[in-house]
Amino acid sequence: MSGKGFPNAYRGRIAPSPTGLLHLGHAQTFWTAWLRSQAASGVLILRNEDLDRDRARPEFAEAQRRDLAWLGIRWDEGPDLKGPVGPYSQSQRLALYQSVYLQLQSTGHLFPCTCSRRDIASAIAAPHALDEEPIYSGRCRGRSPTDEVGLVSESLRTAWRFRVPVGEEIIFEDALMGRQSWVAGRDFGDFVVMRHDGMPAYQLACVTDDHAMGITEVVRGADLLVSTARQILLYRVLGWKPPQFAHCPLVTDAQGGRLAKRNGALSLETFRGQGWTPEEVRAIGSKSTEGYGLSIKP
């Protein structure tokens, strides 16, 4: 089922990865997503983005649902509620990603790549401002899909990259950040859509699911603005209408760094254990953070 099945309905989503505990940054973003869905009398979907085989854990997914419910967020469809566009865990949607990947490959938008194993290995997770992959050098850009046979015969680990239209400006109007402009080849390069181990990268899985689940607005952190430019290119070549986008300002630590799941002191579970109320935690993201040792980074 695609977005065409919901022509007049607002459908938002929250899509945590179960690789750790939720923190204050997640609280701000997911609370904003819930508020926007409520304001539109819409549907909110919980999607479990559990493609990272090495780090995803069922216990983290359960903890995240507890934290979201404690914050006051309610979802209408998800792994625990089912719904018309399930399954709602990405690990159960691999056949769908494969079909979209083959469509991209057959239309000549992808090329096989044996470069940068470290970059390729990290492509399964949503990128962030501090760990964006460097602009791709273009070393394998001239290869065609038929070259894969030779690469496999040489036992080379082959991923598949999307060939971006170098020099093209991608413009979109963000509901929270205003007009955004990104230039392919300058601000980002050819990006991985399928890893060498056959697992879909974040960009491919995200676009496929948002389309299939009928998402009309994506609310997420400002560190994913450049990912939106990449994803708009995927929507375009697949012939799908992209959703609207709303990117939230980042909550940072006292040193101005991006919050990470590994920082347990800032996890929602820790705040809850210390007796904080949901209202107090939500206020950190919506008001002045003076006195909390945190700051809002625009």
Instruction: Cite the active site residues.
Output: 261
- Alpha-carbon span 29 to 249, nearest angstrom: 8
To the nearest 5 percent, what fractions of the chain are helix, strand and coil?
A: 40, 20, 40
Residues in the chain: 298
Phi and psi at 12, nearest 5°, equal -105, 175
Coil/strand/helix, residue 45:
strand
- Alpha-carbon span 245 to 21, nearest angstrom: 25
User: Tokens 């082959």, residue?
Assistant: 158
Q: Beginning with the edge strand found earlier in the chain, give each strand of the sheet holding 244-248 in spatial order.
A: 178-183, 169-174, 244-248, 217-221
Of 281, 107, 116, 122, nearest to 199 (Cα)? 122
Tokens in use for 72?
A: 């006051």
Provide the sign of the torsion angle of the four alpha carbons 93, 96, 101, 104, taken in this order.
negative
**173 CB contacts (<8 Å, ≥6 apart)?**
179, 180
